[in-house]
Chains A and B, each alone.
Chain A
């Protein structure tokens, strides 16, 4: 039984046994668990005076305290939760829009429809991203998680649309699609086995890359003070640290730890993606 399952889902098997994927997934899982359960472990409120200022990491304050005595661990895990949520929702929206527009444009490649869709996409591509984000973010006085995600996603989807379009175009013209056609198998099976299966791994990787990008964009906005109007975020923790000259004052834990978590997460996502690339592509599989 189990053997049958793996034979059918060979890709999944290769993905889950790839060392880079395992390594990346472990770290990502750890960061997610931190975001999910950290706030429960934390003994303080993120804005509460938790003790003395200037304290380095200890068993009392895992990540130390800020200059005004707030608990950095509490702030970081709460911020991480908010930032991850925005990044994940934004990444999903961007992937979804990008894939739909890209797939439709590619499928109708060369028609007026395709051309219109690509015109729209190109307009978004040439728009200066940060400037646009600042304008939108500043315009909206109250920004919750979802609004933040939409703002970030609005400039993130175009490159996915472009990439997915060219992927669809090239898949559509593959000779193996022609071979399936002259083998008289159903259109559904062609879409599934020849188009979608070659697309699925790609879309999956696109999503991870999007998530990567939207996380960074989110932190960037938060750092500029354009994050959610309520609550704490990863970018905001770092912004505070920089504003208070945390590093110059020797409080490395304040700015470095949140930054490190972000860096580790992004590196882990990158590992997953390169590992998946090898797993999904039989050509790159280590035999």
Chain B
């Protein structure tokens, strides 16, 4: 591993098993043995198809669910140990998220302004004029405050709601931002603007972003580091350029072959795992039995076998 890294958060051996049903419990291993570091001011893409466990990792970092195993170290402390109210508040003052479904992120009974009111109620945000700050943040994400504030969620589009949430996150000026399928609802023209805004924010304020996406192109466009997830496991990880130029895990390779044509949308809900890949991955693990996670070059590691 390279030196001189300014690590703000460290994810270590994170595992989440969901149990559903009592009489006939079913277990889903949503994430297994996930480890990576989050560096100040860097963007990490977490790439994988639907169901691979990306959202689960995001929710673990946001303390919305508890890990079955493993740790997330922030400020030298495992965040599972943050229980006290004031400490939890301090954590959320520095670590925030934008969820996958903008429509579900707004309480339908309240006007959209509430998402700003909540953070101004809870946190000591450093603005002289709250309303002015909100308006500026909205202009930054290309929204007209007069046309969005005071509206109910159902009166706005998914893209507008998503940008409101981006504005909310940027207002908070956090250390770590989890952005789950952030721009899935935005049209192409707004998309680039929002992405650039995000990159700018990282450079300016040293914010780190976990950019969760199923879109390989986006990952490449935006991130410094890439994490490839497959069935709850991190199968390839490293410097984005290296991962993209020297994709080694069969699943990563398949992803590159499967990149849809420009302009074609990749349906995030589509179950998409050709039999062939499952087979390829199995053989790959068998051939490399016992190797585990290996650093094949500086800043580039690959999962060679399951054990």
- Which residues on A are within 8 Å of B, measured CB to CB? 11, 110-112, 114-115, 174-176, 178-185, 193-194, 197-198, 281-283
Contact = CB atoms under 8 A, between A and B. Distances in A.
A73 to B, nearest CB: 45
A174 B107 CA distance: 9
B96 interface: yes
Nearest to A115: B22
A175 B105 contact: yes
A111 B97 contact: no
Contacts of A180: 107, 118
B34 to A, nearest CB: 20
Interface residues of B, number: 33
A35 B225 CA distance: 74
Scoring A181, A182, A197, A283 by chain B CB atoms within 10 A of each residue's CB, the highest score goes to A182
Contact of A283 (B104, B107, B108): B108
Contacts of A185: 118, 121-122
Interface in B129-156: 152-154
Scoring A112, A181, A184, A283 by chain B CB atoms within 10 A of each residue's CB, the highest score goes to A184
A198 B154 CA distance: 15
B152 A182 contact: no
A281 B108 contact: yes
B99 A178 contact: yes
B84 to A, nearest CB: 12
Contacts of A183: 92, 115, 118-119, 122
Interface of B: 19-23, 59, 62, 64, 88-89, 92-93, 96-97, 99-101, 104-110, 115, 118-119, 121-123, 152-154
Contacts of A198: 107-109
Scoring A174, A176, A180, A282 by chain B CB atoms within 10 A of each residue's CB, the highest score goes to A176
A98 B264 CA distance: 49
A282 B119 contact: no
Contacts of A197: 109
A175 B101 contact: yes
Nearest 4 CB-CB pairs, A to B?
A: A175-B104, A183-B118, A184-B122, A176-B107
Given A176-B105, A178-B99, A182-B96, A111 B89 contact: no
Contacts of A282: 108-109, 152-154
Contacts of A181: 64
A185 B107 CA distance: 14
Given A182-B62, A182-B97, A185-B118, A111 B22 contact: yes
B118 A283 contact: no
Nearest to B110: A193
A280 to B, nearest CB: 8
A227 to B, nearest CB: 42
A193 B115 CA distance: 13
